[in-house]
Amino acid sequence: MSESANDIVITGLAAISAGGVGIGPLRETLLRRESMLTPVPADILPEPGHLWGRATGFRVADFMPPLKARKFDRCSLFGTIAAGMALRDAGLDISSRDPERIGIALGCGFGGIANSEEFLRAYFEKGAEGLIPMLFPNSVPNAPASNASIEHGFKGPNVTQVQRFCSAESALLMACRFIEEGRADVMLAGGADDLAPIMLKGFHALGQLRRYAEGFGEGSGILVLERREHALRRGAAIRGSLVEIRTVGHLLPGREAEGVARLRGSTMPDMVSLSGTAADHPFLLEGTGGIASLEVGKLVGRSLAMGGVAMVALFLTLGEGKRALHLAASPEGPYYGIDFFGGPSVQS
């Protein structure tokens, strides 16, 4: 499937990751090309040699009173605070806008696992009497988008996508549709995920930790999307534009080249961004030798919805007037090929 999005621009960016809180620290991480992954503690995984990308620089007290923060799970805190940062970067004041014209679409893969574990553990140990009702709302993947909407006052479209390593890209596609269909003027799009020890223990028990769970990261990356006319009317600084989104559900045996050609499009980019397991599919990069590439997962970790951070990193790297191809993949699909065009330089 291919969708043109020539009229949609990016006016705001936000990122929380192992690289730090905000787009400034992420830019510094990209400039240094320094991995922020650290060893997984032995009390979580007794087997040495595993790395993860914890957002250790994230302090919720810097953004929210502790008593209020207790109502949120960690993933919701990532998504909610990143949403506020993205709005500020875009120069959007919700109080002066129609809240029903502002929405959010987030990818989320593992959000709520820690709360789900605590909620279910109490049930298994103590029965129904042990259940803690306040934990349940944050035990589902749509909690980050929902909490962000409540906290910031969005009343437009609200959707969560869980589509393996392409969850954030799937959310971006949905956000574009809401704008194209006239259901929203502004959409926040990206992803949020958090790391929980039980998740790594589970992958280790299944023998998957060194395949697709190696170097998992956490955080949130959010882009603010608007129709170009709307952005210009309010005097917004345009960071870049979204040209086209192409997606393939599965590469058919014997016809892989056809699917890859569809994903990559007909225009040679100035740079290629890789997200999810795209780097594990070398055939996606055939013929792109000499083109600058960016795989932010090697620096801050990857997860099902860390494509949001990857797309923000792309705009922090992409020069004005340059074209980028963002490739995202899951082990057996889906696959995304997204064309971005760089606008004015992004400021810290």
Q: Model confidence at 110, in pLDDT bands (50, 70, 90)?
A: confident
Q: Model confidence at 116, in pLDDT bands (50, 70, 90)?
A: confident
Give DSSP secondary structure letters for 99-152.
GGGEEEEEE-SSTTHHHHHHHHHHHHHHGGGG--GGGGGGSSTTHHHHHHHHHH
**What token pair was written down for 51?**
């790395």
Q: Model confidence at 128, in pLDDT bands (50, 70, 90)?
A: confident
Q: Is the pLDDT assigned to residue 46 strictly greater than 90?
A: no
Is residue 234 within 8 A of residue 310, CB to CB? The reply is no
Q: How far apart are CA 41 and CA 59, in angstroms?
A: 20
Q: Is the pLDDT assigned to residue 245 strictly greater than 70?
A: yes
Domains 2-233 and 243-342 in one fold: yes
Per-residue confidence (pLDDT) for residue 133, from 0 to 100: 75
pLDDT digits (tens, 9 = 90+) for 132-173: 777 777 878 899 999 999 999 999 999 999 999 999 999 999
Q: State which CATH number among 2.40.10.10, 3.40.47.10, 3.30.360.10, 3.40.140.10 fits the domain covering 243-342.
A: 3.40.47.10
3 state DSSP class of 327: strand
CATH 3.40.47.10 fits 2-233, yes or no: yes
The 8-class DSSP code of residue 87 comes to: H
In which residue are the tokens 């809240």 written? 99
Percent of the chain with pLDDT over 90: 65
In which residue are the tokens 């595993």 written? 50
Per-residue confidence (pLDDT) for residue 67, from 0 to 100: 87
CA 121-125-131 angle, to 5 degrees, is 60
Q: Model confidence at 1, in pLDDT bands (50, 70, 90)?
A: low
Per-residue confidence (pLDDT) for residue 6, from 0 to 100: 62
pLDDT digits (tens, 9 = 90+) for 249-307: 988 888 888 888 899 888 889 999 999 988 888 888 877 777 889 999 999 999 999 99
Per-residue confidence (pLDDT) for residue 347, from 0 to 100: 47
**What token pair was written down for 239?**
């960071």
3 state DSSP class of 60: helix
pLDDT digits (tens, 9 = 90+) for 50-79: 999 999 999 999 999 988 888 899 999 999
pLDDT digits (tens, 9 = 90+) for 171-187: 999 999 999 999 999 99
Q: Can you give the residue ranges of every domain in the chain?
A: 2-233, 243-342
Measure Cα distances from 270 to 96, 98, 120, 171, 295 in Å.
38, 38, 49, 25, 15
